[in-house]
Amino acid sequence: MTKNKKQEDLEQRVGELTLDLQRTRADFENYRKRVDVEKAMAKATGRVSAISQLLPLIDTIDRAISHLPDDLKHNNWANGVVAMSRNIDKILDELGVEKIKIVVGETEFDPEFHEAVSMEEGSGKTEVISEELQSGYLMSGQVLRHAMVRVSHK
């Protein structure tokens, strides 16, 4: 084999190896990006699951506060429960979780955000929420749990 032929073969081989290296780098970069996306999705799924499991506890605390007797309004223990509820709301806000806002008698029923458990007859054609039975929650704009409501016609 002549020197030129040998050099050409080596240059061709270097070119092939360079292309293989570039493909391997691109494959690895794609793999790394895919793993990053999968990790983010797994983290979000875990967060949604954990928060969903805490919602019944949050509901119980909210119900307890809403039924606080007048004679306990200045009780230190009762005020501690109210403060705990505010702290929970702050943490949920930091996690991107918010309650679905409802104004009883004004908010129109929307099946994307509300779950109607009963319908009350009325004279109008507009379906409005007449009572909120259980708070609904959004997380990063997505429904985490629908608000359970009663609906009437207005």
Instruction: Tell me the average pLDDT across 90-105.
Output: 94
C-alpha distance across the termini of the chain, in Å? 95
| Summary mean pLDDT of the chain | 92
Class of the 97-154 domain?
A: mainly beta
Reply yes or no on whether the pLDDT at 149 is more than 90: yes
* pTM over 0.85, yes/no: no
pLDDT at 121: 84
Which residue in the block uniquely carries the two structure tokens 């990006």? 33
Residue 143: count of CB within 10 angstroms of its CB = 15
Q: pLDDT-based confidence at 1, cuts 50/70/90? A: low
Instruction: Tell me the average pLDDT across 107-117.
Output: 95
Lowest mean pLDDT among 12-26, 88-102, 117-131: 117-131
Helix (H) or strand (E) holding 102: none
- 84 touches 90 (CB < 8 A): no
Reply yes or no on whether the pLDDT at 103 is more than 90: yes
Side-chain-side CA neighbours of 23 within 13 Å: the count stands at 6
Q: CA 64, CA 82: separation in Å to the nearest integer?
A: 9
pLDDT tens-digit series, residues 49-90: 999 999 999 999 999 999 999 998 899 999 999 999 999 999
The residue among 10, 30, 8, 29 whose CA lies nearest residue 18 is 10
Q: pLDDT-based confidence at 48, cuts 50/70/90? A: very high
pLDDT tens-digit series, residues 133-142: 999 999 988 9
Q: Where are the domains of the chain?
A: 1-95, 97-154
- 65 touches 82 (CB < 8 A): yes
CATH of 1-95, one of 3.30.420, 1.20.120, 3.30.450, 3.90.20: 3.90.20
Q: Could you tell me which residues come within 8 angstroms of residue 85 by beta carbon, excluding any fewer than 6 positions away? A: 58, 61, 62, 65
Q: CA 32, CA 39: separation in Å to the nearest integer?
A: 10
Reply yes or no on whether the pLDDT at 5 is more than 90: no
pLDDT at 122: 77
Instruction: Tell me the average pLDDT across 106-121.
Output: 93
